[in-house]
Structure 1
């Protein structure tokens, strides 16, 4: 029988939905324990049981199973652990995650960021870190994983043109995405504004660039001691002080996953998920004169003049990216062949015009 201390595991996000999944693991070892992944390192996995942490290793059958699914363990995963020797913990199985945030690397492989997340706090500084396009990319990432997104603008006490930037985002972003500005060093203000998402059993993940204030926010909420650093004077970018994802407990019963800043990454999303993140464009597009309107130069377009031009540009950019990621190798070969034919016809035409 699987050992479950619900009262203790509740403090690190255990829900009844997760426990219901355990009925499919009838063949688990008699002394198997349910634990949660708190950190993932190259040579070890750090697990949490609600009271303390321990290091563990993965059994070969689990590695083979995850490799077949083209995935790996991520912070936030729930796992079954066998204690087969003194001081040695072995992970025998992973409970299928209810939600999982992931990105695509340059080679197209899928890299999980965090599992079993309820809310993504999208952190952006009100200094030179301010970048609405990047924020829209994060919102699309959360929507693709069916995770609620909350925009948290930090450094409100030292930010640049705070009121103007808040007004810009309220006009640009979907009304369904909560938006707030705060000073992450002010514990009372931070906990008060984020209280609706800090209930017992909730799991939050912090996403944002380096230097945005994610670790400062974690330290303020969880009274932890995550290392923090300043930003570069030249461009205001962070120095990647946080180097690994980690799970932290909040005194009220929620838990928070802190993450390093994402450098360059591609969305792990389908076209429908991206459309949901830009639902204002999708709603307006129904009134366009043509069904296949690209919202560029077509007559009767209901989107082009009603949506922020930069937001529309970013939508097209992300849409191209998503479509490329869904292409098969044969699709890419066919597309290259098509462009080769078009380019060959351009040369003679341009020469004849010049003649």
Structure 2
């Protein structure tokens, strides 16, 4: 980078006891706010404890920043085990308390509870952190083959459900297809409160277009698929070629993973920006009520449905069907089903699989009867 808190501690380890005060003005420049500051001051800290922000996460080490200098650090095994068990592993953007060992090695022994956290669920149900302490998510989608309104609705719903403000960024305006038509489609499908910007990620004007979210001390994360233009936009906002960029495939417009790790950088205007590898999938890590709240246009109309438990499928007196774009409503239902599956216990998942297995066998038997004339 240029320029409930965990109580797990290992005080029996020998540390340098030289007290070094935090430079709070420098920390504020990389995103420290009053909420995080209050947590820090509430901790029972050792004179050797220092407050840092995580700017890069690797397998065996993390890169920390104190607003002036970077340090390589490792996580105490006890804290790593506790965070893994709670599904809250450290992510880029986290704030931590660390101490310097007598040998000059830095060790992280506390995590400051983030005020926002983005994560997704892996195929095996494990929680995978994306970024922490985010103010704004720039949801980047190319106006070429990358254009997919359903995916944008999905990303928007998931970041808003996590308490992060979402901004739609349509990139590649200079080479996009049917730019005006696609912009009009998104304005029709997405709630009016959602800002939508059309940019050329290589132009300095992109920074001016996005300036309302680039204020000093603000933290942004760029999310989108590979080839959407995230790294190009990151370099433009940083006014430096920090991230490697690459071409997309000619056949389907899919991008290659030029960004392989999440990292936090400081923009000239003072905002912190986190670039991320392309997301091929984003399985929900939020509850159904939170996602429903992000589809507030559907929820508002649902209050006028004839039946209180209306699913907006084929029930009579539904106030949603016909008023909401059919594809948006389909996407809403799909997300709710995915969330329901992600919240199932292993036993519930097995029971559901057994149920559908029985249904499948019954359907197969009926088909066999029809073909044999026994129906």
User: TM-score higher than 0.5 here?
Assistant: yes
Could you tell me how far 1:330 is from its partner in structure 2?
2.7
Q: TM-score, normalization: structure 2?
A: 0.90
Cα distance in structure 2, aligned partners of 1:168 and 1:131: 11
2:179 matched to 1:175?
no
Counterpart secondary structure, 1:85: coil
Pairing partner for 1:195 from 207, 211, 228 = 211
Cα distance in structure 1, aligned partners of 2:115 and 2:37: 12
Residue 11 of structure 2 corresponds to which residue in structure 1? Answer: none
> Is contact 1:102–1:113 with CA below 8 Å preserved after alignment?
yes
Residue 303 of structure 2 corresponds to which residue in structure 1? Answer: 286
2:4 matched to 1:4?
no
Within 5 A, what are the aligned runs for 1:69-88? 69-88=86-105
Change (3 A) 1:60 1:2: farther
> Is contact 1:101–1:113 with CA below 8 Å preserved after alignment?
yes
Q: TM-score, normalization: structure 1?
A: 0.95
2:228 matched to 1:212?
yes
Within 5 A, what are the aligned runs for 1:259-270? 259-270=276-287
Deviates more, 1:171-180 or 1:294-303: 294-303
Q: Over residues 213-239 of structure 1, what are the superposed CA-to-partner deviations in whole Å (9 max), with x where a residue is unaligned?
A: 111111111123211111111110110
Residue 160 of structure 1 corresponds to which residue in structure 2? Answer: 177
Change (3 A) 1:347 1:230: closer
Could you tell me how far 1:335 is from its partner in structure 2?
2.6
Pairing partner for 1:19 from 34, 37, 55 = 37
> Is contact 1:154–1:181 with CA below 8 Å preserved after alignment?
yes
Q: Over residues 60-101 of structure 1, what are the superposed CA-to-partner deviations in whole Å (9 max), with x where a residue is unaligned?
A: 222122123122110000011111135421112111111100
Could you tell me how far 1:264 is from its partner in structure 2?
2.4
> Is contact 1:250–1:256 with CA below 8 Å preserved after alignment?
yes
Cα distance in structure 2, aligned partners of 1:289 and 1:330: 35
Could you tell me how far 1:273 is from its partner in structure 2?
1.3
Change (3 A) 1:2 1:327: farther
Change (3 A) 1:64 1:289: same
Residue 125 of structure 1 corresponds to which residue in structure 2? Answer: 142
> Is contact 1:36–1:79 with CA below 8 Å preserved after alignment?
yes
> Is contact 1:10–1:253 with CA below 8 Å preserved after alignment?
no
**Which segments of 5 or more consecutive residues in structure 1 lack a partner in the other structure?**
none
2:247 matched to 1:247?
no
2:156 matched to 1:139?
yes
Cα distance in structure 2, aligned partners of 1:292 and 1:192: 46
Counterpart secondary structure, 1:296: coil
Cα distance in structure 2, aligned partners of 1:278 and 1:13: 29
Q: Over residues 243-299 of structure 1, what are the superposed CA-to-partner deviations in whole Å (9 max), with x where a residue is unaligned?
A: 000000011211001100012231111101110221111111122222222212222
Cα distance in structure 1, aligned partners of 2:59 and 2:284: 24
Deviates more, 1:3-12 or 1:154-163: 3-12
**Which segments of 5 or more consecutive residues in structure 2 lack a partner in the other structure?**
1-18
Q: How many residues align?
A: 353
Residue 301 of structure 1 corresponds to which residue in structure 2? Answer: 318
Change (3 A) 1:46 1:300: same
Change (3 A) 1:319 1:49: same
Deviates more, 1:239-248 or 1:331-340: 331-340
Cα distance in structure 2, aligned partners of 1:311 and 1:290: 21
Could you tell me how far 1:54 is from its partner in structure 2?
1.9
Cα distance in structure 1, aligned partners of 2:80 and 2:360: 47
Cα distance in structure 2, aligned partners of 1:24 and 1:289: 51
Cα distance in structure 1, aligned partners of 2:229 and 2:119: 21
